[in-house]
Chain A
Amino acid sequence: MSDYLRSYLTVGIFGLVGVALVGVFLGLGRILRPDHPNLAKNEAYESGVEPTGDMWSQANIRYYVFALLFVMFDVEAVFIFPWAARLEAYEVFGLIEMAIFIFILLLGLIYAWRKGVLKWV
């Protein structure tokens, strides 16, 4: 067997061990835990709030703006972390680059704010 194919063997063994591990733990849990089902236990859990209504309810469309804004700053964080870890290596060039990047994202927030989407009506 060539080295190349042997590395697939490693992947295969890794996968099998993963599946086996999950199976063993779930199986152990099933054997050891007490089992007394009742109606209240089968209800959907919503942070302590009693579930009401149909599950096909509509989310308010206004949430999508917040989702978009969240994505904007989420992506910003993804790019800032590696840059911050290597801040010294990038020197002033990196600092200016990041300032421009943050400025552009900030511009998005200013636009959204002036457009009035941050206000909950």
Chain B
Amino acid sequence: MLAQLDATPVETPEIVWAGLLPLLILSAGALLLVMLRSVVKRLPADVEPHLITAIGPITVLGMWFAAGLAGTDVPLAGLRDDMGEPAFYIGLALVMVLAGTLVRTMEIGLDAAITVGLGLSAFAATWGIWDDRWQVTGPFNAIGDQFAVDGFALLFAGVLAASVVLVALLLDGYLRRESLDGPEMYVLMLLSAAGGIVMTGANDLIVIFLGIETLSIAVYVMAAMHNRRTESQEAGLKYFVLGAFASAFLLYGIAFTYGATGSTNLVDIQIFLSSGQLVDNGLLMAAFGLLLVGFGFKIAAAPFHAWTPDVYQGAPTPVVAFMASAVKAAGFAALLRVFMLGFFSHVDDWRPAIGALAVLTLIVGSVMAIVQSDVKRMLAYSSISHAGFILVGVHAASLAGINSVAFYAVAYTFLVIGSFGVLTVVSGVGDRATSLDDLNGMAKRRPVLAFMFTVFLLAQAGVPLTAGFVAKFEVINAAVDSEFYWLAIVAMLTAVVSAFLYLRIVLSMYLGTADGDAADLGDPIPKAAGLAIGIAFAVTVGFGILPGPLSDLASDALPALIGAG
């Protein structure tokens, strides 16, 4: 029997390597980082600072090559031709010197510097594919018919890469303050983001599952990484047990989908469902339900949100920033891909379920936040209510809906990393000072940081001139366009309710007076964390005043299904 099997060679899928470049940079980079750091444990003290400085120029070169390879197979030929050869190389050298000085002034650690470099290179690769390949030849499949590269996947891959960069900057100072130094956290974060990129482009339910598991398992460990804080361990365990449970639901949903449609491939599912061959759709409805439970857990939608407050409160604050930005964005990308592409012909069947989830999530997120006294818990509930807003965009099930989700995901990523970034800095050693009282009088101790935090919070509330306002506006606009006025009204009402929560934090920062033993003594902010918060602030305000570029980007970013061959 074995001899018979051996006769035919197995067909291997066609692979477009350039389309996989962001994924490869993050995952291979993570593996190299863990290898380097386990072989060379401690560098000589006179070599390390120079090596770290060198990472700046190397990153610039890496971005140059990544963007070029991903786009045109020749590093940045376009830009070089536009500027002329000498001007281009002089400019490149100048940028490299600048990057070196920037790294030096940031006083950043080796692992963080490498991670930032990898994240930036992955971002450049995404940009290269977007600009020179996707916009020229349209969406394409990167591995057989399993992994698609389209505008939607690229935008979310860019979001993931950006959140890796910002969170790495936050982690650097945090890990040093908590004396948890080591490459582990960065490696896990890179692997997790690689899993997220798999999710955003997956054309097959099994591939989505693989991506979710890669993403989640790394984040479970990251949540429990603070090994001297029992809350952190508790958060990790809770997240792991409930997350494994949700994965089982998701897998069960995939099995039911296979039972109903005869395939796990989104293209085949879509063709089968739109041909109307499915007469009895009981099995499919069960599949919708189970898949929604699985995705609902990852994006923290009520009633699958119970883990969120505990995990967000217990996990290390920069990790929470990663969970609230990257994990949520990847979850929404996968949810939208499966339901809008695979199941679009049955939109009337799944839409009510998403609508119910959205309403419940909005109400739970905004009302429960009011009664909290811990700022991390408050922001956990506010992240639940943001998930509700994004679900309103999914519920619209229209082009405007997809665009609004993409816009919201980008804006929210920077908002939430900024908010948790500020909390990382002010919460003191061991993340102790996270209650509302601990923020009392923060405006006197740290006026700049308090102002930025205020802007982030107002943006989360949806105040005009911030990206948060435009995001909320687009989502509600999409709901109104699809004539779901009731959902739009619920969304607006809950936005008012949650504004109370944000204003409460702002009030305690500006009007509260600190009692003598404040945990936050106003130590200098780590420069790298300051840079991350500054970038988040600039993006939030920038896209709030001029939403045009991001809006165009989001409306270009449409998911596409391409069949094999």
Query: Is B5 an interface residue when CB atoms closer than 8 A count as contact?
Result: yes
Which of B34-42, B272-280, B466-474, B482-490 lies at the binding interface? B34-42
List residues 1-36 of chain B with CB under 8 A from any CB of chain A: 2, 5-6, 8-10, 12, 31, 34-35
User: What's the least CB distance linking A65 to chain B, in Å?
Assistant: 15
Query: Which A residues are CB-close (under 8 A) to B6?
Result: 86, 88-89
A14 at the interface (CB under 8 A from B): no
Q: Is A94 touching B38 in the complex (CB atoms < 8 A)?
A: no
In the assembled complex, A5 has its CB within 8 A of some CB on chain B: no
A103 smallest CB distance to B (angstroms): 8
Residue from B5, B34, B38, B39 in contact with A89 in the complex, judged by beta carbons closer than 8 Å: B5
Closest Cβ of chain B to A117, distance in Å, is: 12
Q: Knowing A85-B2, A114-B38, A114-B41 are in contact, say whether A107-B31 is a contact too (CB < 8 A).
A: yes
Interface residue A104 (Cβ < 8 Å from any Cβ of B): yes
Cβ 8 A contact of A115, one of B2, B8, B12, B38: B38
Which residues A67-121 have CB closer than 8 A to chain B? 85-86, 88-91, 93-94, 104, 107, 110-111, 113-115
Query: Looking across the interface, which residue of chain B has its beta carbon closest to that of A109?
Result: B38
Given A110-B39, A114-B39, A115-B38, verify A89-B8 contact (CB < 8 Å).
yes
Closest B residue by C-beta to A85? B2
Pair count A-B, CB < 8 A: 35
What residues of A have a CB within 8 angstroms of the CB of B35 in the complex? 107, 110
Question: Measured between alpha carbons, how far is A21 from B481 in the docked complex, in Å?
Answer: 68
Question: Would you call the interface of chain B mostly helix, strand, loop, or mixed?
Answer: helix
In Å, the complex CA distance between A64 and B2 comes to 39
Q: With A85-B2, A110-B39, A114-B41 as given contacts, are A90 and B34 in contact (CB-CB < 8 Å)? A: no
Contact of B5 among A86, A111, A113 (CB under 8 A): A86
CA A90 to CA B13, docked complex, whole Å: 12
The answer to whether B34 and A94 have CB atoms under 8 Å apart is no
A110-B35, A111-B34 in contact; A89/B41 too (CB < 8 A)?
no
Tell me the bound Cα distance from A86 to B9 in angstroms. 9
A93 touches B39 (CB 8 A): no
Residues of A within 8 A of B9 (CB): 88-91
A104 and B5 contact, CB distance less than 8 A: no
Question: CA A91 – CA B8 in complex, angstroms?
Answer: 11
Q: A110-B39, A114-B39, A114-B41 are in contact. Are A86 and B34 (CB under 8 A)?
A: no
Known A-B contacts A85-B2, A111-B38, A115-B38; the reply to A90 vs B10 at CB < 8 A is yes
Decide if B12 touches A93 in the complex (CB within 8 Å). yes
Choose from B2, B8, B10, B38 the contact partner of A110 (Cβ within 8 Å).
Answer: B38
Return chain A residues, CB-CB under 8 Å to B38. Answer: 107, 110-111, 113-115
CB neighbours (8 Å) of A88 from chain B are: 6, 9
Residue of A nearest to B183 (CB): A111
What is the CB-to-nearest-CB distance from A4 to chain B, in angstroms, rounded to a whole number? 15
Give Cα A110–Cα B32 distance, bound, in whole angstroms: 12
Q: How far is the CA of A86 from the CA of B39 in the complex (A)?
A: 35
Shortest beta-carbon distance, B415 to chain A, in Å?
35
Q: Smallest distance from the beta carbon of B67 to chain A beta carbons, Å?
A: 25
**Nearest residue, chain A, Cβ from B10:** A89
- Chain A residues with CB under 8 Å of B10's CB are 86, 89-91, 94
Which residue of chain B has its CB nearest to the CB of A88? B6
B135 to chain A, nearest CB (A): 31
Q: How near does chain A come to B185, taking the closest CB pair, in angstroms?
A: 14
Query: Considering only CB atoms, which chain A residue lies closest to B15 in the complex?
Result: A93
Q: Which residues of B contact A113 (CB under 8 A)?
A: 38
Complex alpha-carbon distance, A111 and B184, angstroms: 10
In whole angstroms, what is the CA distance A115 to B5 when docked?
A: 43
| Distance from A83 Cβ to chain B, minimum over Cβ atoms (Å) | 11
Measured CA separation A113–B10 after assembly (Å): 37
Kindly state the separation between the CA atoms of A107 and B28 in the bound complex, as whole angstroms: 12
Residue of B nearest to A87 (CB): B6
Which residue of the partner chain, among B2, B5, B34, B41, contacts A107 with CB atoms under 8 Å? B34
Give the distance to chain B from A81, nearest Cβ to Cβ, in Å: 13
Most buried by B among A85, A91, A111: A111
Q: Please, which residues of chain B bring their CB within 8 A of the CB of A93?
A: 12
Smallest CB gap from B184: residue in A: A111
How far apart sit A113 and B34, CA to CA, in the bound complex (Å)?
A: 12
- Residue interface bits B26-70, CB-to-A below 8 A is 1, else 0: 000001001100110100000000000000000000000000000
A23 CA / B531 CA spacing, docked (Å) = 73
Across the two chains, which residue of chain A brings its CB closest to B41? A114
Tell me how far the C-beta of A99 lies from the nearest C-beta in chain B, rounded to whole angstroms.
13
Distance between B432 CB and nearest chain A CB, rounded to angstroms: 28
Bound Cα distance A86, B34 (Å): 32
Within 8 A of A (CB), among B512-558: none
Give the Cβ gap from B251 to chain A, nearest Cβ, in Å: 18
**Residues of B contacting A107 with CB < 8 Å?**
31, 34-35, 38
In the complex, what distance in Å separates the CA atom of A65 from the CA atom of B518? 41
Cα(A89)–Cα(B6), bound, Å: 6
Chain B residues closer than 8 Å to A94, beta-carbon distance: 10
Complex Cα gap A104–B5 (Å): 29
- Docked Cα-Cα span, A88 to B5, in Å, equals 10
Cβ–Cβ < 8 Å partners of B39 in chain A = 110, 114
What chain A residues lie within 8 Å of B34 (beta carbons)?
107, 111
Interface CB pairs A-B, < 8 A, 13? A86-B6, A88-B9, A89-B8, A90-B12, A91-B9, A94-B10, A107-B31, A110-B35, A111-B34, A113-B38, A114-B38, A114-B39, A114-B41
- List 8 tightest A-B contacts by C-beta distance, closest first: A114-B38, A111-B38, A93-B12, A89-B10, A89-B9, A88-B6, A110-B38, A90-B10
Q: Which residue numbers of A lie inside 8 Å of B, CB to CB?
A: 85-86, 88-91, 93-94, 104, 107, 110-111, 113-115
